[in-house]
Amino acid sequence: MPAGQSEDEKKPVPIRPAASLLLVRDTNDGDAHNGIEVLFLKRSLNMRFLPGYLAFPGGALDAADAVLANEHSMAEVSAQERAEDPAYAVAALRECAEELGLVCAVSRTDGSMEDQVLTQTEQQWLLNKDMSFAEYLRRHGLKLGGDRLRFVGRWVTPPHRNARFDTRFFLCAAHSKYDEFSVHPSELMWARWGSPKALLEDIYAGREQAVRPTIAMLRALSACHSVADALDHLHVPGPDPML
């Protein structure tokens, strides 16, 4: 063992499964071919990991996510590459509900599609695990729609980092004009819609911070002329995780 290196430093950093949601809508200038907006958030300065960084809604995978993926036939997620991708897709949707109080990619029994806004009480129940995401869906007669999601890419944090994640990114078209978000205050400063190009300008100018996968997603989104374009073509594969 090299001098000064402890046993703990030799142990490999565990890789945590995680998912992130790219929720997009066409710009509000009336032209559906003039670019898109993406929902993004700013992490709290109190967070131990990446405080104050820009990110997308998302978080760690739960065991219940795989069960819910089977119940709701999430295998319809387009462009998916691995059998476990639908569970990650559920995780991305669940985390968006918990963090922002917004439930996406859902439909009612009559087939109508509209994003749902949780009450503050419901959001708190989800955060405190007093109500599961599955129970919320059952109470409101909602079904997740895997066909409304597109798998975009898998990014695995390379070795020799303090924290490692196996993160799957999923694209989803927003079905509401909701602009006010009830953020989880211990984790987030705010959440809002924004132009990928404008976000990149802020990052490059040093006004905001973001990690490599976030920047890669924003670059790809900035090249999309519309939500339909993104849903048809967006693909942002991560680098070799061993490099």
Q: Is the model more confident about 28 or about 25?
A: 25
Query: 79-111 pLDDT, tens per residue?
Result: 999 999 999 999 999 999 999 999 999 998 777
Domain ranges in the chain are 14-233
Q: Please give the DSSP secondary-structure letter assigned to residue 113.
A: B
The architecture (CATH level 2) of 14-233 comes to: Alpha-Beta Complex (3.90)
Query: Confidence class of residue 112 from pLDDT cuts 50, 70 and 90?
Result: confident
* Helices and strands per DSSP (H, E), number in the chain: 8, 11
**pLDDT, position 1:** 43
Average pLDDT, the chain: 89
pTM: 0.91
Residue 6 reports pLDDT greater than 60: no
User: Which residues fall within 8 angstroms of residue 188, CB to CB, at 6 or more apart?
Assistant: 41, 42, 43, 44, 99
Q: How far is the C-alpha of 208 from the C-alpha of 204, rounded, in Å?
A: 8
Residue 207 reports pLDDT greater than 90: yes
Q: How far apart are the first and last CA of the chain?
A: 23
